[in-house]
Every structure is written in C-alpha cells, then in structure tokens.
Structure 1
Amino acid sequence: MRLRLVRENTSIDFFSRGRIWLGLSAIAMVIAFASFLIQGLNFGIDFQGGTSIRTDSSQPVDIAEYRAVLDPLDLGDVSIVSVDDPLFDDDQYVTLVRVQAQDGDERIASETIEAIQSALRTIDPGMTFPSIESVGPKVSGELIQTAILAVALAVVAILLYIWLRFEWQFAVGAVLALTHDVILTIGIFSELQIKFDLAIIAALLTIVGYSINDTVIVFDRVRENLRKYKQKPLKEVLNISINETLSRTLMTSVTTMLALLALFILGGDVIRGFVFAMMWGVLIGTYSSIFVASAFLLVLGVKRDWSKKDPSAGTRYGHIDT
C-alpha cells in the first residue's frame, strides 16, 4: 500500500477564490517590502564587515563553550565555525571566530583582540592564533552587490529555460511566482530581524530551484492536459492538472520539511538561519506553485496546440475570470 497524503481523484477548485489568493499574496509582498524599507536587514559579518580570527587548539572544539566565554565581552554579532581538513593532525582542532566591526571601524581594536584571545585561552591555555584578518565595508558592499546579481541571474536563467521549454506565458507566471517567494523570504528576515549572511543567499538560490521544480511539474501536466482536453476551459484544465500533481507536491514538501525540521532542532546555531530560510521557502514555494504561478497563467492565457501557429496565441483565454 502506497502512502498518500491526499486521496486519489481529488477535485478541489483552486481558482474559485483566485482573486483572494492573489490579493493576499500582493498584500504580503507590500508588507515585506515596507518592512525592508523601514527596518532593513540584520546583516551578518559577511555583509557588515568585521574581523576573522583563526584559532588552533589541541582540544576538541565545543562551539557552545567558545560562545559562552565570548558573550561577556559584548562583541555583538559573533560567528564561530569549526574547520575540518584531512591535512590537519589528529590533535589539531581549528575554528574561525568572526566578530562584527565595532563602532564602524574596519577592524576591531588590538585591545579587543587581546581580550578575545585571553577569553579563549581559558578553554585551552595552549591555544594559538595563526591569522587575524579584517573585512572592510568596501568588501562587504561588493558581497552585497554580488549576492543580488547571483539571485537576479538565477531568475533570468529560469525565465529563459521556461520560455524555451514551454511558452512565454508559462515563463512569466513562473518568474512572478519566484519573485513572490524571494520577496516574502527577505521580508520575513527583515520583520523578525534574523541575521542575514551569505548562507541565506545560498538558501535563496536553493529556494528558487526548489520552487521552480514544483512549478515545472505542474506546468508540464498543464501542457499535457491542454492537448488531452481540447474543449475544456483553461480554468478547468488547470484545476485538473494541479489535482493530479497535488499528491506528489505535498509528499515532496512534507518529506523535505521533516528533514529540515530535524536540522533546525539538532543542527545548532551555525546553520539555523539557513535552515529557517529553507523551511519558509518550502512553504512559500509550495503555495506559489499552486496558487500564484497557475493563477497568472490563467490570467495570461495559453494556446492549445503547439504544432500550429496562431496569431492570437496567449490571449485566447485571457478574458476568463479568476
């Protein structure tokens, strides 16, 4: 017996309240954009600038212990990452301790560095500090620009891919859904003031890939059913296609969410922001592939036979009320 999250042959009308779903999405995007303009993002060290201190110890790394001895110094945003390398000796344990820029300075003061070193030596008196590097505001600004460019290029590449594989109406619907996902993800990070760093950019790119995968599955079934049901209205074909792929969509989302939930609970502070972004992205991506991308496709309309040229293609069903 196969596990199913929804019963077979569902007949849910996803577009009976299509305007309401699009309206709620539009309101959520406006709130997210307003939060971004008013509060901004809580940038991490990657985008804010700061100092990276490499530690070398003969004792196993306990990140919670490192953080406990540094918290009394009131350094602001501190990132502690354990570094593994097969070239290290068996008794060599390396970490990178990154501290945000203090009071707008490019690098933290020597007195602060000495205080950090003294605090960490309470864990291991023989700890050494092979390198100390600073990331200034200029480099951080370049990272922000590169991150924005990476997300934009990913969306453009997906637009071209969908356009070539399907039709321009499918491409526009998919990209609008992706834009919806990215804006709402940035908005939730702005609203909750969760640390935003390069790991979150990686999560955004992963969310884009996850969301478009769901959307392509639905669109592929739509294209098949447009050829199969030549006389049915586009709205009905879209409902049939989404219902047919609903079990697969929910199964993928739930299994992914279970894995992410385990990482969120057990993974620790280092990856918690990344995992939260992924969890939010799975929820929003599943919603947008069903309600946003398909709703825009219904508004734009599509042609029914790709083997014939039709000057009215793309507008034949544009008058249908969502």
Structure 2
Amino acid sequence: MTTSLSKPEHKPAKKAGFFNRLSTGTGAFDILRPRKVYYTVGIVLVVASILLIIFRGFNLGIDFAGGTKLTFTPAATSVPSDAQVGEVMSDSIGVSDVTVQRVGQSLQVVSAELQPNQIQTAAAALKSAFALPGNVVDTAVSGTWGAEVSKQAIISVIVFLVAVALFIWIRYERRSAVAAVVSTVQVLIITAGIYSLVGFELSPATVIGMLTILGFSLYDTVVVFDKVQENTRGLTSLTRRTYAEAANLAVNQTLMRSINTSLIALLPVAGLLIAGIALLGSGTLKDLALVQLVGMLVGAYSSLFVAVPLAVDLRIREPQLRAHTKRVEAKRAAEGLIVDAVGDPIGSRAPVVAAKGAKSHKTLAKAGGAAATVVAEAPVKPAKPAVSPVVPDMAPGEAPRPGVRPAGARPKRPSGKAARPTGKRGR
C-alpha cells in the first residue's frame, strides 16, 4: 500500500499591526501622495484667517491700543461682579466701555485713556463702593507707546522669518528654505486667525507665545528635513527609490516622534490654559496658553503636511532628479517589480519588454510608471517546462506531429555494430 505524504502548507508571516508599524516607522504609509489635499486645506484656512483678521480684527490689550488700567484688591467677603464695576465707572466718570480682568485676587479695570482728574474720581468711587482694604493703583499707557510695541512685534516676526530662511538655506538648500518659510508663515496666519475668532486679548504675552510656537514648528521641520537629507544622500547613484519615495520614508520614520513630541508639549500647555481661565483667571496666562496650544497643533501639521511635501514638489522638478526617476521606473518595469509607498519591493509581475522597433528606454519608462503604481498583485510563478504528450493510437505510417512522441517509441541501437567498450580507449 502506498502512502502519499502531503507537504506542509507555507503560512505567510503575520502582518504587523497599525500602531506597531507607526511606532517603528515601517508602516510605508503613503503620506505624501495626497499633498494637493494638504495644500487645499492650508489655503482655505489661511484665506479664512485673513478674512477674520480684516473684518473682525483683534481685541487689542492696553499695551497695544493704549489706555488706563485701574488695579485693586476687593475684600474677600465681597467680590464685585463685572457688571457692578462697570456701573461704578459709568456713574462716576461717565465711561461705560471698560473691560474687567481677574488676576488672582485682584481686579483690573481697563478703559480708554483717562485724564488725571478722571482717574482720581474713579479710584475714589471704587474704594467707596466696594469698601476696598487697599488703594487703587493706576497705570497709563499712551497710544504712541502701544503703536511702538506693535511695530517692534512685527519687526521681530520678520527678523525671525529671515533667520529661518537663511538657516535652512545654509543647512540644506534653497528649495527647502522656501518650503520652511511658507510653512512658518502659514502657522503664523492661522494662529492669528483663530486668536481673532476667539476674541482673547492681544498682549505682549501673545507675541512671546507666537515666537515660541514658531520656534517649535521650525524644530519639527528641521527634524524631518534632516531625515530626508539622510535618506537621499547619494540617491542619484542608485536605482532603488525615487526622491519622493525616500522623502516619504523619512516622514514615516519621524511621524511617531513628531506625534510624541507634540503630545508631550501640549499637555502642560493645556494645563496652563485651564489654570489661566478656570482657576486663576489671569489674562496673561490665558493669552500665552491659547497661542501656544493653537500654534503647536498647527505647527506640527504644517511641518509634516506642508513643509516636506512642498520641498519635494520643488526638488523633483530638477532635471537630475527627473532623469533619476525615469531610470528607477524603467528598471522596475524591466524586472517586473511592484513596490510600496517607500520604494520597497512587495511583489512582482511579468517584466515589460520593449516592442520591436520602439525605443526601449521610453517604452520601459512608461511601463515602469504604471508598474510602480500597483501596490498589490500576486507574484507570477515560473511556468513549468512543457512535456510532450504520448499518443498511443497513431495510424501506421503516419508521421508524428511536431512535439509528439509515439507511444513506446524508444531509440534503438543500430544493428551490426558492436557495443561501445566500457574500458579505456585504445591509442
């Protein structure tokens, strides 16, 4: 009795999970392919922010708009409401357009610039109405000084952008510098638009926070650019990956780092915002925390989805990289390779052979482009050698058909010839 042994089936290796591939940078996520969508989203947000800034404007603090600020600490047993403070100011000096801010246990009443006699009258009215244990401290800021502060803030942002462009240009190259500046300006405009929408007061703390988040965004951008430079070093001498695939690999490798850095930085900032609004009621903490929270979120997005894609689009226009991309695609088409989003082989297909009379390089390049876009296709198994069939019933005298061997036909040794000796040949 014959027993047939079946070969054990080969089980494919289990594919790693999404979070495992994300954390190890081996996910091969095609992050750069929908970059036109990123550009569209960025343009829409920038236009909306500019419209908000033009038509809604900012809630300028006393340091920018100028005015008078009265600060006092009420008794712990009787803390007046904002409406009560506004009523006292209106009855005493006829000024109803005031803003009341709570900084810890103290209250700050901000209004337009007041005359010295108005300040004395308002201070006396507040002390009498709320039985204040201490005096009312006044602070006056002229409109000229506020305009100077605004001017210096704008100059600071411009100097920062110029420094960013020079640094990226020297460290990497000019196209990366353009992408980094565009990304940074986008962060600045969107953050300012959200600040205008929320209506928080624009103060010197806001400017400080703005410069801080611009630095954070630049740091994240430099990290990704550094990985792109590492992956593309000596790229044109090889035919494994295109420039876009090497840049996409760099984004995959730094994606988890960017997420972790952003989350760790956002947690204390979110706590600062909650403390500034709910617990302390401090305008300075609130202003600083909001601009940092929004800026870090927008900065992390712009670094990965604006700066790097834009730099790639500008670089792949170079003739040298265009020629290299054609060589890579032609090689893949000739070898029948199917690659993923980062250029690693994941399968194979029938090699593309240039048609007779056609230019092989151009044909392979076109075929390679089509082959490179395929991401899932079963490998082609090599064909088994054809075996000539046996035809047992052949008519006598009929010549065998090409490739067909008659049944039982075996070559015979010619008669009358001796068998070849098995020993050594004679000399």
Taking structure 2 as the reference length, the TM-score comes to 0.60
* 1:147-179: CA deviation from partner (whole Å, max 9, x where unpaired): 111111111111111111111111111111000
Mapped partners of 2:157, 2:167: distance in 1: 15
1:237 is displaced (CA, Å) by 1.1
Higher helix share: 1
| Partner residue in 2 for 1:237 | 246
Equivalent position SS for 1:15? coil
Partner of 1:99: 110
- Aligned identity (percent) is 27
The change in CA–CA distance for 1:178 and 1:153 in structure 2 (over 3 A counts) is: same
What does residue 298 of structure 2 align with?
284
Is 2:311 the counterpart of 1:297?
Answer: yes
Report the residue type matching 2:85 in the other structure. L
Distance 1:41 1:202 in 2: 16
Aligned to 2:98: 76
Higher Cα Rg, which structure: 2
2:174 matched to 1:159?
no
Q: 1:268-288 CA deviation, whole Å, 9 max, x = no partner?
A: 332112211111111100100
Partner of 1:143: 149
Shift of 1:207: 1.0
Match of 1:255 in 2: 264
The residue number in structure 2 matching 1:27 is 44
Selected match of 1:13 from 11, 24, 30: 30
TM-score relative to the length of structure 1: 0.78
CA pair 114-10 structure 1, distance change in 2 beyond 3 A: farther
1:5·1:250 contact (CA, 8 Å) conserved in 2?
no
Cα distance in 2, alignment partners of residues 151 and 117 from structure 1: 42
SS of corresponding position for 2:29: coil
| Distance verdict in 2 for CA 1:223–1:16, change over 3 Å | same
Which shows bigger deviation, 38-47 or 143-152?
38-47
SS, match of residue 134 in structure 1: strand
How many angstroms apart in 2 are the aligned matches of 1:266 and 1:20?
37
1:155, 1:208 within 8 Å by CA — same for their partners in 2?
no
Indicate conservation of the 8 Å contact 1:49/1:137, yes or no: yes
The runs of 5 or more residues in structure 2 that have no matched partner are 1-18, 90-95, 326-427
Q: CA, structure 1 residues 228+11, in 2 after alignment: closer, same or farther (shift >3 Å)?
A: farther
Q: Would you say how many aligned residue pairs link Structure 1 and Structure 2?
A: 288
Q: Deviations over 1:109-164 (max 9, x none)?
A: 744653345435666644124x5332122221111111111111111111111111
**1:205, CA displacement in angstroms?**
0.3
Give the secondary structure class of the aligned counterpart of 1:132. Answer: strand
Q: Check whether the contact 1:67–1:80 (CA below 8 A) recurs between aligned residues.
A: no
Q: Distance in 2 between matches of 1:5 and 1:198?
A: 43
Kept in 2, the 8 Å contact 1:177–1:288? The answer is yes
CA RMSD of aligned residues (A): 3.1
SS of equivalent to 1:51 = strand
Partner residue, 1:180: 186
Counterpart for residue 36 of structure 1: 53
1:76 partner letter: V
- Among 175, 196, 218, the alignment partner of 1:212 is 218
The higher-RCO structure (CA 8 Å, 6+ apart) is 1
Structure 1: gaps (5+ residues): 83-92, 303-311
SS in structure 2 at match of 1:267: helix
* C-alpha deviation, 1:67, in angstroms: 6.3
Q: Does 1:274 align with 2:288?
A: yes
Determine the C-alpha separation between the residues in 2 that align with 1:267 and 1:40: 23
Give the superposition deviation at 1:48. 1.3
**Quick one: distance in 2 between partners of 1:137 and 1:158?**
32
Q: 1:274 to 1:67 in 2, by over 3 A?
A: farther
**Aligned partner letter, 1:159:** A
Residue aligning to 1:85: none
Aligned to 2:342: none
